């Protein structure tokens, strides 16, 4: 039986679910331990009225708060209530099973992480601060530092971000493709519009079910969203050097890198414009793969955007609504921010004597079900060497190297070509699963 539509309580949802705060180009994320229960409550009570909700359109600043399961426990949430949250959230990102499916091995293994791993103190909360410019961010940081000190809560780590004008450190426009969320975002094509329960707990999802009902009845889950945070460091020099070694000239270099991403640096999708970057298509996102490009002559099947969102090419029934319906169960709302300085392809290929400052992506995504959305995308699509009939490929931007991948196949009308021996260009430096509670729930936690 179809569930009756329920009004989405946008005013109770934290703002980050509704928007990525694109006009607030400066941001800092503070990681907090929340070791002391009374101090944690004092702090939360002191910030709760400043938290930005989904029905605000913040002009100059925005504040959101996310909590880990450790943080919820330290705020006094009883174990039986905590256990109603999903298993992956309760046990965290670094269990043996999760490091395997997420590919967190070698240099990326949690033992080496700067935060969120077993070698550092458990993270309890992330205070996400956004501002219209650097000066406003400084003021916001000062105000919040005062509140933290007054409550007696220590900052474990401050994660800075940088504004690269909409481009990620490899040099590609990012943040173009997002799902449309029913009753939350502006409307879009049906195939890309998902039900609110895919991102907000307490509403019907793409399976026609309410997400995590017991949790919602208890109140803490209602209007919340799971937030996945991964600090992904990008080896920009390594990326361009590898491409340079495989490309005879600069134009071919860009073409090869675009094949890996599935979009040109300016943003145009290869599925729409296979031969050149086209500024008029930089934001274009209404396309599929099955009819236009079934074997990937335009956009390789293993390209980053085709793996992370295969659109209409999934079984059963590729090219049909059935395929799109399956795809809608694995969408992510991406809310990441870059860090470090920009480095162009040309500069990346120039020898530098000074050691590089780290740069990368504070990857943040929201979902109603971490296992079915973020983990599925990462494991079954992004890291899978046999994705869509491939053999030992993995995601060319973020995937693993041999023996778990390291090949990138580019189908062509004539002979297909293949890059082999690709190193890993992204190293995980930290991460945790958070929950972004609704505002009423945060008030209850603070009281
Ligand atoms: C440092 C790591 C990463 C970089 C540099 C990167 C870069 C990009 C770029 C340039 C795009 C195209 C712009 C757009 O469509 O918005 C994109 C799209 C996307 N990425 Fe990533 N990405 C990274 C990590 C990830 C991870 C870890 C995931 C998921 C587990 C992911 C999921 C997606 C999704 C879902 C899209 C949109 C695809 C579509 O709808 O067509 N990305 N990424």
How far does residue 262's CA lie from ligand 1's centre (Å)?
10
Low-confidence ranges of the chain (pLDDT < 50): 1-3
**What is the CB neighbour count within 10 angstroms for residue 13?**
27
Q: What is the pTM of this model?
A: 0.97
Ligand 1 atom closest to Cα of residue 168: 5
Residue 390 Cβ inside 6 Å of ligand 1? The answer reads: no
| Chain segment 264-274, per-residue pLDDT in tens | 999 999 999 99
Query: Cα of 308 to ligand 1 centre, how many Å?
Result: 7
The predicted pLDDT at position 346 comes to 93
Q: Is the peptide bond before 101 cis (omega within 30 degrees of 0)?
A: no
Beta-carbon contacts of 192 under 8 Å, excluding residues fewer than 6 positions away, are 179, 180, 285, 286, 328
360-367 vs 408-410, strand pairing mode: unpaired
- In the three-class reduction of DSSP (H, G, I as helix; E, B as strand; rest coil), residue 145 is classed as helix
Give the model confidence (pLDDT) of 397-433 as tens digits: 998 887 778 899 999 887 789 999 999 999 999 999 9
Contact present, 228 and 365 (Cβ < 8 Å): yes
- Which residue has the least CA distance to atom 38 on ligand 1? 305
383-391 long-range CB contacts below 8 Å, 24 or more apart?
383/101, 383/102, 383/103, 387/301, 387/302, 387/307, 388/301, 388/302, 388/307, 388/310, 388/313, 389/301, 390/301, 390/302
Distance 2 CA to ligand 1 centre (A): 33
The whole-number pLDDT of residue 414 equals: 79
Residue 297 to residues 39, 107, 390, 428, Cα–Cα distance (Å): 58, 34, 14, 31
Instruction: Tell me, in angstroms, the distance from the centre of ligand 1 to residue 6's CA.
Output: 31
**For the CA of 175, the nearest atom of ligand 1:** 16
Q: Which of 198, 229, 298, 334 to mutate for ligand 1's pocket (most ligand atoms within 8 Å of CB)?
A: 334
**Alpha-carbon gap, residue 396 to 377, rounded angstroms:** 15
CA distances from 82 to 65, 75, 325, 403 (A): 18, 11, 31, 38
Three-state secondary structure readout of 370-427: CHHHHHHHHHHHHCCCCHHHCCCECCCCCCCCCCCCCEEEECCCCCCEEECCCCCCEE
**Cβ-count burial 88-116 (b if 16+ within 10 Å, e if not):** bbbebbbeeebbebbbbeeebebeebbbb
């Amino acid at each position: 039986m179809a569930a009756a539509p329920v009004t989405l309580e946008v005013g109770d949802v934290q703002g980050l679910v509704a928007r990525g705060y694109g006009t607030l180009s400066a941001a800092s994320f503070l990681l907090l331990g929340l070791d002391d229960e009374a101090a944690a409550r004092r702090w939360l009570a002191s910030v709760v009225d400043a938290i930005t909700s989904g029905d605000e359109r913040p002009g100059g600043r925005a504040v959101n708060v996310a909590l880990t399961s450790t943080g919820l426990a330290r705020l006094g949430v009883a174990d039986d209530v905590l256990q109603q949250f999903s298993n992956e959230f309760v046990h965290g990102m670094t269990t043996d099973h999760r490091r395997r499916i997420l590919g967190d091995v070698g240099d990326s293994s949690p033992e080496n992480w700067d935060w969120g791993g077993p070698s550092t103190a458990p993270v309890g909360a992330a205070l996400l601060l956004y501002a219209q410019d650097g000066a406003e961010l400084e003021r916001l940081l000062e105000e919040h530092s005062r509140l933290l000190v007054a409550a007696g809560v220590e900052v474990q780590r401050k994660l800075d971000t940088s504004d690269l004008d909409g481009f990620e450190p490899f040099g590609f426009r990012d943040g173009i493709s997002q799902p449309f969320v029913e009753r939350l975002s502006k409307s879009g094509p049906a195939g890309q519009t998902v039900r609110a329960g895919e991102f907000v707990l307490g509403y019907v999802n793409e399976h026609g079910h309410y997400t995590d009902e017991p949790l919602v009845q208890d109140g803490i889950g209602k209007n919340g969203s799971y937030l996945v945070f991964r600090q992904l460091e990008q080896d920009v020099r390594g990326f361009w050097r590898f491409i340079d070694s495989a490309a005879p000239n600069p134009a071919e270099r860009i073409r090869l890198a675009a094949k890996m991403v599935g979009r040109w640096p300016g943003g145009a999708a290869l599925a729409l414009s296979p031969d050149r970057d086209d500024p008029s298509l930089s934001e274009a996102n209404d396309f599929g793969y099955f009819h236009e490009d079934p074997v990937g002559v335009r956009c390789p099947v293993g390209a980053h955007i085709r793996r992370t969102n295969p659109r209409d090419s999934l079984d059963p029934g590729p090219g049909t609504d059935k395929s799109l319906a399956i795809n809608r169960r694995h969408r992510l709302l991406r809310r990441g921010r870059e860090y470090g300085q920009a480095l162009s392809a040309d500069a990346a290929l120039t020898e530098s004597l000074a050691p590089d400052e780290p740069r990368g992506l504070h990857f943040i995504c929201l979902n109603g079900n971490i296992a079915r959305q973020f983990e599925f995308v990462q494991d079954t699509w992004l890291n899978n060497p046999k994705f869509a009939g491939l053999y030992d490929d993995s995601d060319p931007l973020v995937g693993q190297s041999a023996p778990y991948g390291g090949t990138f196949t580019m189908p062509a009308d004539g002979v297909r070509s293949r890059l082999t021996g690709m190193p890993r260009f992204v190293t995980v430096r930290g991460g945790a699963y958070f929950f972004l509670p609704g505002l009423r729930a945060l008030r209850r936690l603070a009281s």
